[in-house]
Amino acid sequence: MILLLFSGGMDFLHGKIINHFRGQWQSKLALIMSISINLFVLGFFKYGNFLAENLNLFLGDFFPTHSFSLPIGISFYTFQTLSYTIDVYRNKVSVQKSYLSFQLYVSMFPQLVAGPIVRYGDIDTMFDLRSTTVDDFYEGAFRFICGLGKKVLLANYAYQVYSDVLVGNLSKITVSQGWLGLLMYTYFIYFDFSGYSDMAIGLGRIFGFRYPENFSYPYFSLSITDFWRRWHISLGNFFRDYVYIPLKGNREHQIRNIAVVWFLTGLWHGANWNFIIWGRYFGVLLILEKYFLAEIRSRVPVFLRWLGTFLFVMIGWGIFSFDEILKLNQETMNFHHLMSMFEFFQILFGFSDRPVFDYLSLLLIFQKSFFILLCFLCSTPLFCHFIQKTKNNFYGYFVQISFTAALTFLSIVSLLSDTYNVFLYFKF
């Protein structure tokens, strides 16, 4: 909380200085200070331990590590306030005169914890002029409940299956269990993240704000480039506008620029080697796609392009979640862990002595088959398409209202069921 107020206060001040001394050296200094302070705060809390532990490998226990927990939303609000000062400096947005309005922007709870990254320019006109109509409330509430349903009814359960099948089980999984676990993580992360974004967008709408979209059916992408245009759009746009283009984007050193952006993208997601490898993995895929696969891709049937993209994305999630699969619990990955990652992919691709199926795998796959189908269907635009089609007739409203009521009820039931803990060891 204190950090949030500090971050907001500092950048409000920096914005004022930049605006007041526009075109003078003080303006540049304020921008540099804003960038440095934000990156230092983020670096200290999020990457401090990671950096210290890795440097200590060479220097003994030279750097102390801290035990602070990561402040909530730090990755999001530092980027938001950064975008504000940079945009004020670039004269793309007007400086905010009211500290309260600025702090409202920084601490807006719907999107504070899990995005989307709302840039100041996205909503600057809405602080004073926003209004909430019946339409806004209706659409916002519907969007919120859809997000809640995604999170509670799909993401939580997908995570439960992933966790049950894969987490801590590397020594015994079969090939099919490995893929089932990975598929569940793939759906978990989408429904979790996009569910939060839907809830944020819906709540924002209820309060009169229009937040940018953050996801656009990413699992129906036909290439990795396409995937990253549909996945966490606000982050992609942030890195494009504040890193890639300033590095001269496509015009000079494109490969280097892509490499830098994807190194940072990986690092932004977490302070561990798996995230860095994950960023690098997508960086390499994007470079390959851009320079070598563009022509071949156009000759491949659409279904195979979709399937190929989906598989590469799934593999990416295998790298991304590997610290969790190993149950590392914030521990920094070492060489031994990286070798385990290699073994994990050996298992997935059948280069190990693990069977493709065992009895348990067959049972699990059958047992979860409806859920897998449901996840697949919910990740397509089918449902949204249906809502749009029936939007303006009575039956459409009826369906939408019934659906919202059912989702609300089922979400409450499911949330409560997570608290149902049969305690075998009490009073026995």
Partner 1 sequence: MHKRLKLIAIVLFLLPFFALGLLSVLDSDEVLSMEENRNLAQKVSPTFQTLVNSEFTADYEVYYQDQFPYRTELIACNQMINFLYSLNIPSNLVSFFSGILYQKDTPKDEIIPPVISPEMEEQPSELPPVEEPVPEPEPDLTWYGNSDFFIPYAEDIAYIDSFNYITSNSSIELYEYTPERLAQYAHILNAYGDALPEVDTYFMFVPNSAEFYLPNSIQNSLDSQEDGFVYMSSLLSDQIGTIDLFPVFSAHLEEYIFFRTDHHWTTRGAYYACEAFLEATGVTALLPDDYTYGYREDFLGSLHSVSTMFTNSLENYPDVVEYFIPNMPSTATLYHTAEMTDGTEIDLVQPDYNLEDSLYHVFLGGDAAILDIQTEVGNGKTLVLVRDSYGHAILPHLLPYYDRIIAVEPRYFNTEGFPSLNLIDFVEKVEADDLLFLSYSIPLSGFYWWMDWCQVVEGMHPNWGA
Applying CB under 8 A, the residues found at the interface with partner 1 are 134-135, 137-138, 141-142, 145, 153, 157, 161, 164-165, 168-169, 355, 357-364, 366-371, 374, 392, 394, 397, 400-401, 404-405, 408-410, 412-414, 416-417, 419-428
Q: Is the dihedral of CA 70, 198, 119, 235 positive or negative?
A: positive
CB of 424 to partner 1, least distance (A): 5
Q: Which of 269, 336, 337, 385 is catalytic?
A: 269
In this structure, are residues 188 and 159 in contact, taking their beta carbons and an 8 Å threshold? Answer: yes
Sorted by sequence, the CB contacts under 8 Å of residue 210 that are 6+ apart come out as 122, 123, 126, 204
CB of 116 to partner 1, least distance (A): 23
**CB-count exposure of residue 104 (10 Å: 0-12, 13-18, 19+):** middle
**CB-count exposure of residue 107 (10 Å: 0-12, 13-18, 19+):** middle
Q: Name which of 171 and 298 has its Cβ closer to partner 1.
A: 171
CB of 340 to partner 1, least distance (A): 17
CB of 425 to partner 1, least distance (A): 5
Whether 269 is catalytic is yes
Q: Name which of 54 and 408 has its Cβ closer to partner 1.
A: 408
Per-position DSSP letters for 27-89, written without gaps between them: HHHHHHHHHHHHHHHHIIIIIHHHHHHHHHHHHSS-S----PPPPTTHHHHHHHHHHHHHHHH
Q: Name which of 58 and 423 has its Cβ closer to partner 1.
A: 423
| Number of residues written out for the chain | 428
Q: Name which of 335 and 394 has its Cβ closer to partner 1.
A: 394
CB of 366 to partner 1, least distance (A): 6
Q: Name which of 338 and 360 has its Cβ closer to partner 1.
A: 360
Q: Name which of 302 and 424 has its Cβ closer to partner 1.
A: 424
CB < 8 Å & 24+ apart, contacts of 350-358: 350/175, 354/173, 354/174, 354/175, 354/178, 355/174, 355/175, 356/174, 356/175, 356/176, 357/174, 357/175, 357/176, 358/174
Interhelix angle 74-89/99-106, nearest 10 degrees: 130
Q: Is the dihedral of CA 254, 255, 256, 260 positive or negative?
A: positive
Q: For 220-301, where are the alpha helices, taking DSSP H only?
A: 224-230, 233-239, 254-269, 273-288, 294-299
CB of 362 to partner 1, least distance (A): 4
Q: Which residues are catalytic?
A: 269
